[in-house]
């Protein structure tokens, strides 16, 4: 007999997403985001939550009716409240989800040069905000061949054209303003590395938050690896992409915490589908207990991260 536990009732509830949205707004209001003029961050958070909703709907990432992906994203981003201090993190989050929407739509379509162009243009815009995101380009190209199964020379060329698109506009602006070297400092930072694993400038609350998100990521990866035979091949390929990106992000953060905020934002985006899959599609006593623990720790970290800002 398939027992529906509390975690399953929450995951399959139609009011889960509205309730999570209300919770998010309450936290934003109590933390002073509205009073401090952080309206754009709130709007971008809501828009990113909507994109997560569409990412799940279009790709059927969870094989049952569930809004847990959007709920998990909103809760985890609200938990890491310090990320809202810099609007760049909110922009990165939206762009990362938009990239996946275009990237996943290419699955097994080696002629979709338009969509790989759009996906790469989104990645290019992200690199304007966070230039170190270009480090992931070779990994994305490998995944284009191995998991999306749509790699060929035309797709790589279209990807390069999309990636450079925002820089053509910036370069033209620099040329018109007489600053032809406008982009040089931006790209020079790609060759600059902080001391390895220098965590001195990262607070304990941020480290604990990262540790918790990392633990959720690993939990989701292990769960999916053990149960991926229940999902369609297309879904497995997409979750393998999340897993690969998460492993790269965990290593990147560990070695270069100077980019902590932007990388944690990307880690949350990639972890969200993994942990949502775990919550929605498990139903044992142990996983139900873990769901309660996840809720309590998330609430505690949310309060702690908001509290440190005052």
Angstrom distance (rounded) from CA 105 to CA 119: 10
Q: Would the CA dihedral through 287, 296, 241, 109 be positive or negative?
A: positive
- pLDDT at residue 302, rounded to an integer: 94
Angstrom distance (rounded) from CA 264 to CA 14: 29
Angstrom distance (rounded) from CA 156 to CA 159: 5
Q: Determine contact, residues 288/4, Cβ cutoff 8 Å.
A: no
- pLDDT at residue 265, rounded to an integer: 97
pLDDT along the chain (310 residues), means of 10: 82 94 91 82 95 94 93 96 93 97 95 95 96 95 96 95 93 80 84 88 93 96 91 94 97 94 97 96 93 96 84
pTM above 0.85, yes or no: yes
Spatial neighbors of 286 by CB under 8 A, at least 6 apart, are none
Q: Determine contact, residues 67/17, Cβ cutoff 8 Å.
A: yes
Of 195, 186, 209, 203, whose CA–CA distance to 76 is shortest? 209
- pLDDT at residue 1, rounded to an integer: 46
Angstrom distance (rounded) from CA 308 to CA 41: 19
Give, in degrees to the nearest 5, the angle at Cα 54 between 49 and 58.
155
């Amino acid at each position: 007999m398939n027992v529906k536990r509390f975690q399953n009732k929450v995951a399959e509830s139609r009011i889960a997403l509205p309730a999570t949205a209300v919770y998010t707004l309450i936290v934003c209001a109590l933390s002073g985001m509205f009073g401090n003029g952080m309206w754009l961050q709130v709007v971008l958070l809501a828009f990113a939550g909507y994109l997560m909703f569409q990412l799940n709907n279009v790709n059927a990432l969870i094989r049952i009716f569930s809004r847990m992906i959007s709920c998990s994203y909103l809760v985890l981003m609200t938990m890491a409240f310090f990320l809202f201090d810099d609007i760049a993190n909110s922009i990165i989050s939206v762009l990362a989800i938009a990239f996946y929407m275009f990237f996943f739509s290419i699955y097994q379509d080696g002629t979709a040069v338009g969509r790989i162009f759009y996906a790469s243009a989104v990645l290019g815009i992200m690199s304007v905000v966070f230039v170190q995101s270009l480090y992931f380009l070779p990994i994305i190209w490998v995944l284009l061949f191995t998991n999306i199964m749509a790699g060929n020379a035309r797709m790589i060329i279209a990807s390069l054209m999309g990636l450079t698109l925002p820089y053509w506009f910036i370069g033209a602006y620099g040329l018109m303003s007489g600053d032809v070297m406008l982009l040089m400092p931006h790209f020079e930072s790609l060759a600059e590395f902080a001391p390895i694993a220098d965590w001195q400038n990262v607070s304990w609350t941020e480290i604990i938050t990262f540790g918790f998100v990392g633990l959720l990521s690993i939990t989701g990866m292990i769960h999916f690896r053990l149960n991926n035979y229940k999902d369609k091949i297309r879904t497995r390929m997409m979750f393998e992409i999340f897993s690969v990106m998460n492993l790269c992000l965990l290593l990147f953060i560990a070695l270069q915490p100077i980019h902590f905020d932007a990388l944690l934002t990307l880690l949350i985006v990639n972890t969200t589908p993994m942990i949502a899959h775990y919550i929605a599609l498990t139903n044992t006593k142990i996983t139900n207990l873990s769901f309660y623990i996840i809720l309590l720790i998330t609430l505690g970290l949310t309060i702690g991260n908001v509290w440190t800002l005052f």
